[in-house]
Amino acid sequence: MKPSILVTRAVFPDVVARLSEHFTVEDNPDDHIFSEAELIQKLQGKDGLFANPADRISAALIQACPQLKAVCNMAVGYNNVDVAAATAAGIMVTNTPDVLNETTADFGWALLMATARRVTESEHYLRAGKWQKWTYDGFLGADVHGSTLGVIGMGRIGQAIARRSMGFDMQVVYHNRSRLTPELEARANNARYLSRDALLQTADHVVLVLPYSAAVHHFIGADELALMKPGATLVNIARGGIVDDAALIAALKQGQIAAAGLDVFENEPAFNPAFLSLENVVLTPHIASASAPTRRAMANCAAMNLIAALSGQTPPNLLNPQAVK
């Protein structure tokens, strides 16, 4: 008898077909967002979970689903899963690293450029029929070339962002939990390690790429924003909660920094509506990895992890090897 799994959200049909070769699959082509109670009910008798990053896999859910053996997240981040509770219950947890590095780095640059050069603001102006003439000071933005790029979170994606700065003749400074090797620093456009506060004081453009945890909740708040240059920009492609959104809104309103580009938010998708009243912010709905090849690669990676986990093998992207008996 095949193991039974739940696919919580709509995903590529061919990925569901691949999973169906190995499992009895309950999928969700209507893309209904399950409440925790609904998830618990759906998971009764299920061996595996193909999870979406918006699914909250809590300790209570884990306790209520004793047959569950694997939670495979279709994301590189996994702060939606209580990994400690899963480990205690002997449940393997996996993510999808590496396959989205370059695409996410591309999008980080898209946000950086749009933010620095006021692309969204000027497009809205044009669409509203306000463009009547060329002016010498119309939508003056910040240069990217020749400026200083600050990367907070110098993992694989952060390094990919730093490598792209070579074509813009930029200086790179970075902050990370641990310093990179000299070889990796050299590959990342000779990136120079700084403390967080020194980086914020130095960089013209700051990009956040660090993973979320309780330890970095509001890592960038009012005090940190006050350290930044008045003409600086802030881009967040990491996770909501790393930035204190209320403090950022205040800083943008006051002109404390020039602009921000945000792909992630606190409490998304129910983000702070005050962002919508600001002209100096570029807003996107958590789409940094959203190229067709990359999202397909993420789905197939999650499927591969789940197939391995429920076939007696060690999944290639296992986050909690302690869970394997």
pLDDT in tens, 176-192: 999 999 999 999 999 99
Mean pLDDT for the stretch of residues 285-314: 97
**From the CB of residue 202, how many other CB atoms can be counted at a distance below 10 Å?**
18
316: tokens are 């290639």
pLDDT in tens, 88-101: 999 999 999 999 99
Residue 325 has pLDDT above 80, yes or no: no
d(CA 318, CA 19): 18
Domain boundaries, the chain: 4-99+292-323, 101-283
Mean pLDDT for the stretch of residues 60-69: 97
pLDDT in tens, 23-44: 999 999 999 999 999 999 999 9
Cβ(112)–Cβ(144) below 8 Å: yes
Pick the catalytic residue from 26, 102, 268, 296.
268
Q: Using alpha carbons only, give the angle 142, 144, 148 rounded to the nearest 5 degrees.
A: 105
Pick the catalytic residue from 164, 175, 286, 295.
286
Q: Quick check: is 268 catalytic?
A: yes
Residue 50 has pLDDT above 80, yes or no: yes
Cβ-in-10-Å burial (0-12, 13-18, 19+) of 55 comes to buried
pLDDT in tens, 165-174: 999 999 999 9
Residue 317 has pLDDT above 80, yes or no: yes
Residue 278 has pLDDT above 80, yes or no: yes
94: tokens are 């996996």
Domains 4-99+292-323 and 101-283 share a fold: yes
Residue 193 has pLDDT above 80, yes or no: yes
198: tokens are 């020194």
Predicted confidence band of residue 200 (pLDDT cuts 50, 70, 90): very high
Q: Taking the model in full, what pTM does it have?
A: 0.94
d(CA 245, CA 260): 11
* Beta strand segments in 47-147, E: 48-51, 70-73, 92-94
Q: How much is the pLDDT for 1?
A: 86
CATH assignment, 4-99+292-323: 3.40.50.720
pLDDT in tens, 298-307: 999 999 999 9
Cβ(57)–Cβ(32) below 8 Å: no
Pick the catalytic residue from 239, 266, 279, 296.
239
Q: Using alpha carbons only, give the angle 62, 315, 102 rounded to the nearest 5 degrees.
A: 105
d(CA 221, CA 223): 6
pLDDT in tens, 243-258: 999 999 999 999 999 9
Mean pLDDT for the stretch of residues 253-268: 97
Cβ-in-10-Å burial (0-12, 13-18, 19+) of 178 comes to exposed
CA dihedral 136, 142, 147, 149 (to 10 degrees): -170
- For 101-283, give the CATH class: alpha beta
